[in-house]
Each structure stands twice: as C-alpha cells, then as structure tokens.
Amino acid sequence: MASTAALRAQIASLDKETSSQRKHLADLETSRDALVSELNRVAVYPVLTLPPEITSEIFIQCLPVPDEPDDGPVRYTYADAPLLLLRVCTTWAHIARSTPPLWSTLNLDVEDWEPEHIGSIVATWLSAARQRQPLSLHISAFDWDELDRASDGLAAFLRSLGTHSTKITTLILRFTPFTLPLFTSAYFVWEALTELHISNESIAERRR
C-alpha cells in the first residue's frame, strides 16, 4: 500500500498537470477568439451589401404564413422571422427593427412560452412596432395559474403591454374568467384602439 506521502505527491503532480492543461486550453480559446475577430473584420458577406430596402422586403417575405387562409395569424416562436432575424448579426437586427410590417401583428399564446420569457418577447415586439402604424395583438391566456400570476415574467409582460398599449390598434383576447383580472388590474392606455374582440371560455368548455 502506498504511503500517505506518496499519495500526496501523486495528487500534487496531477494538480500541476491539470493546471497546465487548463492554461493551455485558455490559451487556445484566446487564440481562437482572436482569429474569429480577425475573420469578422476581413470577411466580406455579399448579402450585407444589398440596399436596406431590398433586405427589408426579403425579410417581409420570410414571415411565416398560416397553413390555411382561415387559420388566422401564425403563432410566432424564436425560430421564426422576425425574432430569428434579430439574432443573425447587428446589421440584420437593425434592418429588422426598422421594418414596421415585420411587427404589425403578434399572435401570442402563453402555452407556447415559459412565464419568464413572455415579458421579453412582448417588450421586443412592441418596442419595434411603430407609433401610428397599425398593430394587431392577439393574446390567448387560458393556462395562467396562481403561480404564473405571481411570477416576475408575467409582471414583466403586463408592464410591457401597458408601456406600449398606446400603439395597439386591434386587440383580440381569449381567456377564461380566471385570467380576466390580469387585464383589469394593470394600467393601459388604449388611445389608438379601434377594434376589440374578447372571447371568454371556461376551462371545462375548452377541454370538451
């Protein structure tokens, strides 16, 4: 059996080797970051030489469409335009934010999002929407329970909705009686609102 001194020596040797490997890995990562920065500096991407107006039109054509004409607005995800376009590069993000038709309709079903993400998507979308431009907002909120109603994400959602409520021209709400207090307890200014639809279903009716 090895002595305690020998075991400590082996551990010390391994610690030294581990430290050396960590330093080597850090050096490799630093070198890689430098190469990526240099590539980004010298690389030429022809698509970025297009006039912004052309790029905007391409972005509009990238918007998802319903499978059937009567299906209504598409429920967007981060994998769809326009949200996807914000994550490609700063140039595309700027053009996307400067293209009002990309942000004219938001169909949001809370079942599709974690509560902590709802506030950020509404803030991103409504901040990109232009004042005095038609903005249609569809919200389906059937499944907010007591925990969701108390969450920071839901509070952020209501704050964002309240902040940008002056932009909304069409509002379509679908919820149960349980979720109605969410929209009566927050402060909104509907000065641009010209169309309002409210669909109120009980949970039992919805599950039939």
**167: helix, coil or strand?**
helix
Instruction: Round to whole Å and give the CA distance between 18 and 10.
Output: 12
Q: How far apart are alpha carbons 133 and 52 in whole angstroms?
A: 20
The pTM assigned to this predicted structure is 0.68
Q: Which of 76, 194, 77, 168 is nearest to 183 (CA)?
A: 168
Give the residue from 4, 26, 22 showing the smallest Cα distance to 14. Answer: 22
Run of H or E including 173: strand 170-175
d(CA 41, CA 33): 12
Domain boundaries, the chain: 11-43, 51-100, 104-208
Whole-number Å distance between alpha carbons of 208 and 202: 10
CA dist 99 to 54, 85, 174, Å? 11, 11, 28
From CA 37, how far away is CA 23, in angstroms rounded?
21
For residue 183, the one-letter residue type is: F
Sheet holding 195-200, edge to edge: 105-109, 136-141, 170-175, 195-200
Per-residue pLDDT of the chain (208 residues; tens, 9 = 90+): 678 988 999 999 999 999 999 999 999 999 999 998 898 888 878 888 899 999 999 999 999 887 766 666 677 777 888 999 999 989 999 999 999 999 999 988 877 777 677 788 888 898 888 777 889 998 887 665 544 554 666 777 888 888 889 999 999 988 777 666 777 767 889 899 999 998 876 544 444 4
Helices (H), the chain: 4-42, 52-61, 90-97, 115-128, 146-149, 152-163, 180-185, 203-206
